[in-house]
A = this chain, B = another copy of it.
Amino acid sequence: MAKNLQEMRERVCAANKSLPEHGLVKFTWGNVSEVCRELGRIVIKPSGVDYDLLTPDNMVVTDLDGNVVEGDLNPSSDLPTHVELYKVWPEVGGIVHTHSTEAVGWAQAGRDIPFYGTTHADYFYGPVPCARSLTKAEVDGAYEQETGSVILEEFSKRGLDPMAVPGIVVRNHGPFAWGKTPEQAVYHSVVLEEVAKMNRLTEQINPRVEPAPTYIMDKHYLRKHGPNAYYGQKGDAH
C-alpha cells in the first residue's frame, strides 16, 4: 500500500533531527531517507542544511532513480548511495548515513566489528561487515552510487541478509545503517555506534578476546526477531 507523502516528509524530518540528539553527528554530517516504492518516491534531507532548520516542507522528494521531483534545495549528496540500496533491497524502507565517531574508527581501521556479546546480537545477526575501499575508478566515476554498489557487493559476496545485518562500515569512510522505517534505521545506527565503542573497549581490556559463541547470537537475535520473538509488547517493531 502506498504511503502518505506528507507523513513521509514528517518522519524523515524527525529522523534527521534525531541524529544530533543521539550524538551521531556534528554539523550536517549525516542524512536519513525513506522510500515508498508504490508511490515511486524517496524523501531525503537537503544537503548541508542544519538539523535545526529542517522542516517537513524543506525535505527533498525524488523519484526512485534519485531525480528531484519536489523541493528547491539540493538533496543530500549521498542520495545515489541510498538509491542504489533501495533498488536492490526491497524490504529496506529507511537508510541512515553518518560519520559517528566510534563506527568511523572501525571503518578507518578497515575491520569488521566482531560479535562479542548480546548487545550486538539483539540487533545484528553476525559481525558488522567492513566493505572495501572504493577503487580509483569508482571514486572518479559515480562516486556515491559506487559506494552503494560496494555495499551491495559486500552483502552479496558474504551471502548476508540486509534485514538481519542492518548496517555496515565502508572502509576509509563511515557507517550506513537501515531498517524497515527511517526510525528503525536510526535505531540501528545508534546500536552500531554503541557496539563499535563496546567492542573497542573489549579488545583494549582483553587483546586476545575471541568472538562470543554462535548460539548466544542465535538466542538473542531470535528473542527479538521473527515469529518466536518474546521481547517487548505484542505488535512492537522490536
Contact = CB atoms under 8 A, between A and B. Distances in A.
Contacts of A49: 233
A171 to B, nearest CB: 8
Interface in A195-215: 197-206, 209, 212-213, 215
A75 to B, nearest CB: 11
A117 B173 contact: yes
Contact of A223 (B77, B134, B136, B204): B77
Interface stretch (A84-92, A100-108, A160-168): A100-108
Interface in A108-139: 108-111, 116-119, 133-134, 136, 139
Given A172-B118, A233-B47, A233-B74, A202 B134 contact: no
A166 to B, nearest CB: 15
Given A105-B201, A108-B116, A198-B108, A231 B48 contact: yes
Given A109-B209, A206-B110, A104 B198 contact: yes
A104 B197 CA distance: 10
A219 B77 contact: no
A210 to B, nearest CB: 9
A219 B140 CA distance: 7
Interface string A141-176: 001000000000000000000000000000011100
A178 to B, nearest CB: 17
Given A205-B203, A213-B136, A216-B134, A173 B118 contact: yes
11 contacts: A46-B233, A47-B232, A77-B232, A106-B205, A108-B116, A108-B199, A109-B205, A118-B173, A134-B216, A172-B216, A200-B201
